[in-house]
Amino acid sequence: MTWAFEFEDQPWFNGYRDLATNGIDKPVLNVFRMFGMMTGDRVEVTGDVAYTVMAARDSSIRKPERDIYALAAADENRVAVMVWNYHDLNIISPAATVNIAIQGIKVPQVDVHHYRIDQQNSNSYEVWKKMGSPQAVSNEQYATLEQSSRLKLIEGPKNMKVENEELILSTPLEGQAVSLFVIEW
């Protein structure tokens, strides 16, 4: 669920409470698409770089450290893990290596799909800025923006081995990036 509005005849990428701009999906809509791909029951996630609920409440995500954490859901033959590297100040930091260990997978092999939102993927805003932030776009620019607004599969399906009922995934994740791993068997 989101608290979003529709604003007609607004400048491109103007405002924070909408999911699209002039018919082009904003990157935040891809986060909702990722949430929509997370089926089953929520499962416990542990990590060592996340803000606590109380720290986020008291200071938002503004301390020098970044919030690197995950959310996961699983059902009979599928696990989805969303992981992010976030800071409220919208600073693009160098990539942090994120390691994900998924336990309790009782099959020898799985297929992994990796979706990403970052500066280069699933991000119409960054593409628009590279165009020079035009307020009037050509048909070709519009088509490019429309393509860049889609959630991008950056890897997969990739067949991976499960050892001792555990799958290990590792990815570099730059600041302000979100990845979704969908593991199926």
pLDDT at 5: 67
Neighbours of 136 (CB within 10 A): 6
Token code pair at residue 120: 């280069």
3-state SS record for 51-81? CCHHHHHHHCCCCCCCEEEEEEEEECCEEEE
pLDDT at 73: 98
For 86-114, b/e burial (b = at least 16 CB within 10 A) is bbeeeeeeeeeebebebeebeeeebebbb
User: How many domains does one find in the chain?
Assistant: 1
CATH number at residue 164: 2.60.40.1500
- Rounded to two decimals, the pTM is 0.93
Residue range of the domain that includes 38: 20-184
Q: Is 3 contained in some domain?
A: no
Q: Is 139 contained in some domain?
A: yes
- What residues in the chain have per-residue pLDDT under 50? none
Q: Is 78 contained in some domain?
A: yes
Token code pair at residue 45: 């996630």
Q: Is 10 contained in some domain?
A: no
pLDDT at 106: 96
SS3 state at 27? helix
Q: Is 13 contained in some domain?
A: no
Neighbours of 141 (CB within 10 A): 15
pLDDT at 18: 84
pLDDT single digits (tens) 30-43: 999 999 999 999 99
Q: Is 30 contained in some domain?
A: yes
Kindly report whether the peptide bond that precedes residue 157 is cis, defined as omega within 30 degrees of 0. yes
Instruction: Kindly report the backbone phi and psi dihedral angles of residue 34, in degrees, each rounded to the nearest multiple of 5, phi listed first.
Output: -60, -45
Tell me how far apart the terminal alpha carbons of the chain are, to the nearest angstrom: 29
pLDDT single digits (tens) 155-171: 999 999 999 999 999 99
Q: Is 146 contained in some domain?
A: yes
